[in-house]
Each structure stands twice: as structure tokens, then as C-alpha cells.
Structure 1
């Protein structure tokens, strides 16, 4: 299967690149394989068809999500780095999943400012320090019954504490932190 080969290649590339690259913005900082599997289960269990991802990198997580979506499913993924957008689009094409993916080259704040559509699942894996400033917009984009998932909830718990507290304080979500990969904060919006 083509997808499996692309995913394995990106896992290897990510580990090698991140171990040797000094500059944070040049690292891929991809999710772990078990996080990809976890996202796939969440998508299928929630019958998600519309997903928003903030933080594409080279498209590793996007491929996991796109592959789990049904035939009519779609993911919009937002990435600010032009070089990573180019790499991601190439990876989507090689995995034969481009038809399910819209790539938006923009900063998260710029995209969220104009977004007016609710998603079945919103996946956050970008600049964690910006989440709290964008919290109102992020929460509003999750449809009732939908999921908000945030990577690095265990590995960078301190950086996410204020954002997680905000989501919990809305009273609109049932929340859990799941020790998969680097830790996943999962919030299900009340229907």
C-alpha cells in the first residue's frame, strides 16, 4: 500500500531531521505513530467527515487523518511555513490523498479570524503558546458533539495548562488527557 510506505518514510525522515536540526522551525515535530492510530480511531468512532488541523508540518499527521476519513470526508490543514507546505503537498500526492486535503498557507490566527465553518474534529499541533489567545475562535469551530484534540498534552503540559483550563471552564466540553504518544488532550463538545 502506497500510504503505508509514505508514512514509514516520513517517520524515519522526521526522526533523522529532528535529531540533527538545530532550528526549531526546521524540525518536523511530527506526532507519533500511536497518536496517528488514535486519531484514526477517534475519526471513525465520531463518524467525522470535516476536520481542521492547525499545524501541517510535512503532512504526516494529515495523512493519518485523511486516510481515516470516509470517501466524502475532507481535512483543511493550516501551515505558515511555505517550505513545509510544498513538502506536505508532495507527500499528499505521493500517498494519493490530495483529493481529501485542502492546504491553507497562513498563520493560525489569520485563518481562524476568517473561518466560519464548524468541524467534526479540530486537531491542534502547532505553536502551543498561541492557543490561549485563539481559544474563543478554536472552541467556536467545534460543532456540537464534535471533538477538539490537542497534541503534546503530557510532554508540554505546562504550556497547555491555561488553554485546557479555558476549554474546561466553558462548561461546553467533557475532557480527558490520554497518555498516547506525547499526550493527547481530548475534549468532546456537548451536543
Structure 2
């Protein structure tokens, strides 16, 4: 049956709205990260191919919050904001996110229990294993975890992946998107 004029066929989603903010931020991040040999000042935005699959569970779970940890310019956060807008948790996605410079471990320590879904650490990969107790604590039950560059920097993510996989509470999968996306779900 075809819809009649004036009858909406589906709800508008973030995919229908102009994607200029995340696209612009991603291009700015790539330009910024290009030549410097020192990786610490890099923005290290998650690749759009890695962020897109994270938006689906945000919408499906009707998530109300998301936490990105890393030296980003807000690119991934703007993608997450679009998905949160679709769940009704966020009412204005028109502007650019405002990155805040804080210590990742301190931020996780100060984040309330079971308050976020998902968490996307995209910072100093060797520190992830130390974040694990806080990540488990701050994630809502069945909350998602997404780690970018899990293939390209496999050696730096391996200890964290093994730590998650060693327990039944965090089943993990590796996806061939971007530079590899490691996902996990807190099932207990």
C-alpha cells in the first residue's frame, strides 16, 4: 500500500538530517592529524565507518547517554548525539559538541554507576586495561563498549581485549570496519 500525500512513512532519523557537523569535524581532524610525527597532540577521531555501527544499538536500546573518552574534536560525539536525538534523549544536535580536556581515569572515577551506554574509549590504548573496572561500573546493564583501531593497533589493544574476553560479563566481537572495531556488551 502506498502512502497518501501528507502521510508520514517513517520518522526522520539522524541519517536524514544534514551530516555536515560530523563530516566537517572528521575532515578537520584528518587535516590536523596528518603530518605530525608526535601522536599525542593528534585528535584521533573515530572513522565514520567505525562510528556508524555504534549508532544502531544506541537507537535500539533507546540509550539516554553516551561517553567518548579521547582527544577528539567532537566528531564521534556528534555522531552519537544524532543517535541520542533519535531516542528522544537529546533535543538539540544543531551545534558542535564542546570537547572538555580532563583526565580519562578521573572522569571515569567520577562517573555515576550504571549511567552511560555506550562508552567509546579512544585515547591512550595501553591505559584501557586499567579503565576496565570503571568501564564495567559506569556502563548500564547490557551497555555497549566500542574501541576503535582494534586491528590497526592490535598490539596496544590486545591486553584489554583479553581482559574483557576472560570474563563472561563482557562478550566481545571484532568488526572489520574502519581500522577495526572491538565491541563488547556488559551482560552482568
Identify the match of residue 107 of structure 2 among 91, 108, 111.
111
Does 2:72 align with 1:53? no
- Name the CA shift for 1:2/1:120 in 2 (closer, same or farther; >3 Å): closer
Q: 1:143 aligns with which of 140, 143, 146?
A: 140
Change (3 A) 1:17 1:103: closer
**1: CA distance between counterparts of 2:41 and 2:164?**
30
Partners of 2:165 and 2:78 in 1: CA distance: 29
Tell me whether 1:160 sits opposite 2:157 in the alignment: yes
Verify the 8 A CA contact 1:66 1:97 in the aligned structure 2.
Answer: no
- How far, CA to CA, are the matches of 1:110 and 1:3 in structure 2? 35
Paired residues in the alignment total 170
Shift of 1:9: 2.0
More strand by share: 1
Residue 23 (structure 1) aligns with: 38
The structure with the greater share of residues assigned to helix is: 1
Aligned-pair CA distance for 1:150: 1.1
Tell me by how many angstroms 1:97 deviates.
4.4
How far residue 174 of structure 1 moved from its aligned partner, in angstroms, is 2.1
- Indicate the residue corresponding to 2:89 in structure 1: 73
**Does 1:44 pair with 2:59?**
yes
Deviation at 1:11, TM superposition (A): 2.6
RMSD: 2.4
Structure 1: gaps of 5 or more residues: 75-92
Give the deviation of 1:36 after TM superposition.
Answer: 2.2
Report the CA distance between 1:107 and its aligned residue: 0.6
Counterpart Cα distance in 1 of 2:94 and 2:71: 17
For 2:54 and 2:71, the matched residues in 1 are separated by 15
What's the offset of the Cα at 1:67? Answer: 0.6
